């Protein structure tokens, strides 16, 4: 524990708070919810065992993007309690949410001790879903957002998603600036051409 940094304790604390918020906000747990619980438990273990970063982006703008990226899903839940939404296609939405949860967990397990809150270099993940796109965990977030909004949406949730996606785009660029310091990055970038959406971006 003496080797842990402030960032490690922050990751542990944020993840523990997310778990504490998840249970009262979720009256009944679906398979996707249990996958997310498992994912949070994995992150708790990573926070206590990961190595220090070789490089890290500590800029104010990146910090703001990270906060927005973490907060906007919970903001949607809170907003829907205040202003109820309309169903789109609940069954299709649930299928997308489950697929996103599985992709997110697979991405996290592939990242392992490389995972962090701020953009940092702890090695390069190139296996599993990282063979398809460079940021599969963010792809999982996008798919989950579409799924949740198909289950229930209103103009406010769409605005929150737009803010969240803008923060994710900024975060991706910030991460790639840090990852570019890895010797394997040029080869990986040429092999896996797309960041999030194959054939698009």
Report which DSSP code applies to 135.
-
pTM: 0.92
Indicate the domain borders of the chain: 56-191
DSSP letter at 182? S
For residue 120, the SS3 value is: strand
Buried b (16+ CB within 10 A) or exposed e, 167-182: bbbbbbebbeebbeeb
Q: How far apart are the first and last CA of the chain?
A: 40
Specify the 3-state DSSP secondary structure of 153.
strand
CB environment 11-42: b (16+ within 10 A), e (fewer): bbebbeebeeebeeeeeeeeebbebbbebbeb
pLDDT for residue 188: 98
Q: What whole-number distance in Å separates Cα of residue 180 and Cα of residue 176?
A: 6
143 vs 2: CA distance, rounded Å: 39
- Cα separation, 104 vs 58, in Å, equals 25
Q: What is the mean pLDDT of each run of 10 residues along the chain (201 residues)?
A: 74 88 78 91 94 95 95 93 96 96 97 94 97 98 98 97 98 97 97 96 95
pLDDT for 3 equals 59
Angle subtended at Cα 194 by Cα 193 and Cα 195, rounded to the nearest 5 degrees: 130
């Amino acid at each position: 524990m003496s080797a842990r940094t402030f960032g490690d304790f922050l990751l542990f604390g944020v993840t523990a708070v997310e778990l504490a918020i998840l249970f009262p906000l979720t009256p009944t747990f679906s398979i996707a919810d249990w996958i997310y619980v498992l994912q949070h438990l994995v992150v708790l273990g990573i926070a206590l065992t990961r190595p220090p970063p070789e490089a890290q982006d500590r800029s104010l703008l990146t910090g703001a993007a990270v906060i927005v990226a973490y907060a906007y899903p919970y903001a949607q839940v809170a907003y829907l309690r205040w202003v109820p939404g309309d169903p789109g296609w609940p069954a299709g939405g649930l299928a997308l949410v489950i697929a996103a949860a599985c992709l997110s967990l697979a991405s996290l397990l592939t990242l392992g001790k490389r995972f962090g809150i701020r953009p940092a270099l702890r090695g390069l993940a190139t296996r599993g879903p990282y063979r398809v796109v460079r940021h599969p965990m963010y792809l999982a977030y996008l798919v989950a957002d579409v799924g949740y909004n198909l289950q229930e949406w209103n103009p406010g949730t769409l605005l929150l998603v737009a803010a969240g996606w803008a923060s994710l785009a900024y975060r991706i660029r910030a991460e790639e600036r840090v990852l570019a310091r890895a010797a394997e990055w040029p080869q990986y970038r040429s092999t896996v051409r797309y960041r999030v959406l194959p054939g698009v971006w």
